[in-house]
Amino acid sequence: MNINSFPAKKRAGVSLHITSLPGPFGIGELGENALRFVDKLAAMGIGVWQFLPTGPTAYGDSPYQPLSTFAGNENLIDIQNLIELGLIEASEASVLRELPHDFVDYGALIPAKRAVVSLAAGRFEERATADLKADYDRFVDTHDANWLNDYAIFRILKAQHNERPWPEWDRPYVYREEAALNEVAAANAARIEAIKVTQFLFFRQWTAMKAYANEHRIRLFGDMPIYIALDSSDAWANREMLRVDEAGRPEAVAGVPPDYFSEDGQLWGNPLYDWQKHADNGFSWWIDRVTATAELADIVRIDHFRGFESYWAVPADSPTARDGAWEPCVGDEFLTALKGSLGSLPIVAEDLGVITPEVEALRDGHNIPGMRVLQFDVADPEFRMEDISEHSVCYTGTHDNDTTLGWFRGSPGDIRSPEEIRRTQEMALAITGGTPETIATDMIRLAFSARSQLAVAPMQDYLGLGSEARINVPGTSKDNWRWRVTDAQLGPEVCDNVAKLVTASGRSL
């Protein structure tokens, strides 16, 4: 089986972000508990593990606004591995063991984990073995000129400016004056080195986890936002690829137009790409970006795929997305160049919402699978399961949805009317043939029955959990990305029940 492609045979998948893994150090990590999760997936017959973007997060802890599209999130580094490497003592990580095990308390976690990881990175030169140092040197040689050095200096400067966005920094740093940057590098050599060591430790652990998963015939399914954050090392170091001026002021920003759900549309605020400049240099930055993501994962979902056909551009001074306009993109040229470089396109298109025939033609013309979400489809009286294409990923719900049980019942804050919830309940029961008590399992069984080559359910649905286990509410910035599964929830009985579901569907490994 070719592990580096979209499944050629029907497979079952699970979505669970790395932060949501069980473990003793306050957050899911890339170590032993990740490997044990792979073991459980193999026992269940689940062949694909999907997770959210893995870049370093900032305010709000959202993985969709990372400080770098290339760097890894240091909060995911496995602490036990640092102990085994002799970089820290077990007692020095005791503060992390005191954190909650069933949710992530970011306010307490981030300063505590940053201190422990920084301690390990600062001792690397003194305590690391010769082989480990040689691996580190190779890592730096490979990535330093491309993104690593810029990222390290960006993090130093961001800290020096009280974590403010880079357009608000002192002028020499905003404009990347060479003398000023050289002075920062010389004055902070040890801290820059520690940031690079931290990234090495992240990628070393990730590589080991991916190898273990692939050895067990499990594909890793990553996620990549189409846009980057303005407050990122990528934007700071490569502003010429964006529609921003030298001071970082955007000409226009990203969003989506008004629709049924929002009369003002959605104003995301991300800077837009200067696609002509990307085309002029052969899309080299984009090719580097997708290549880097594809090294972490076997399949990559690209969020807001429709932006490759045309995108909603909103004047930067507009208070809402109402005043935007559709602008054409060079998606066909880009995807052709990407395939020419990678040899194939190991990507899935997030093509939800109002999708035009032109977007469908772009997707299908490059043989890219799309998405279907049953929570949306089942609520449509005209929906039929046979409408779902074989070349697609069928979900019960995504990280932006409530859990299936919460969706079915209607949770506090649900934007649907009581009548809409009642109609949805009736349609869900009719199409699944299930019951209110078993609706989560019934919807998984429905997804598994689809023609889609890949059918995915969030771990919360496999566990039959309600709205208390929801991981994200779009449009909000508090109390998201916190949910974690526990070892007790992943016990033998649950694994056996999931295995029976998967086997009965013909999607087992």
Q: Are residues 367 and 332 in contact, defined by beta-carbon separation less than 8 angstroms? A: no
d(C-alpha 14, C-alpha 400), whole Å: 15
The letter for the amino acid at 233 is S
Domain boundaries, the chain: 238-344, 370-509
- pLDDT (0 to 100) of residue 475: 77
Cα gap 3→400, rounded to integer Å: 28
- 219-224 sheet: strands from edge to edge: 347-349, 299-302, 219-224, 48-50, 11-15, 454-458, 392-395, 370-373
Pairing of the two strands 252-256 and 310-315: antiparallel
E-strand ranges in 188-305 read 219-224, 252-256, 266-271, 299-302
Along the 509 residues of the chain, how does pLDDT read in single tens digits? 344 467 878 999 999 999 999 999 999 999 999 999 999 999 999 999 999 999 999 888 999 999 999 999 999 999 999 999 999 999 999 999 999 999 999 999 999 999 999 999 999 999 999 999 999 999 999 999 999 999 999 999 999 999 999 999 999 999 999 999 999 999 999 999 999 999 999 999 999 999 999 999 999 999 999 999 999 999 999 999 999 999 999 999 999 998 766 788 889 999 999 999 999 999 999 999 999 999 999 999 999 999 999 999 999 999 999 999 999 999 999 999 999 999 999 999 999 888 999 999 999 999 999 999 999 999 999 999 999 999 999 999 999 999 999 999 998 788 889 999 999 999 999 999 999 999 999 999 999 999 999 999 999 999 999 999 999 998 788 899 999 999 999 999 999 999 999 999 999 99
What does the buried/exposed string (b/e) look like for 12-35 if buried means 16 or more CB atoms within 10 Å of the residue's CB? Answer: bbbbbbbbbbbbebbbbbbbebbe
Measured between alpha carbons, how far is 255 from 267 in angstroms, rounded to an integer?
5
Structure tokens at 81: 């591995």
- Report pLDDT for 263: 83
Query: Which amino acid, 5?
Result: S
Would you give the DSSP letter of residue 495? H
- Spatial distance between the Cα atoms of 60 and 57, rounded to a whole number of angstroms: 8
- Strand order in 266-271's β-sheet? 266-271, 252-256, 310-315, 325-328
pTM of this prediction? 0.96
Nearest to 254 by CA among 265, 241, 239: 265
Residues with a catalytic annotation lie at 303, 350, 400
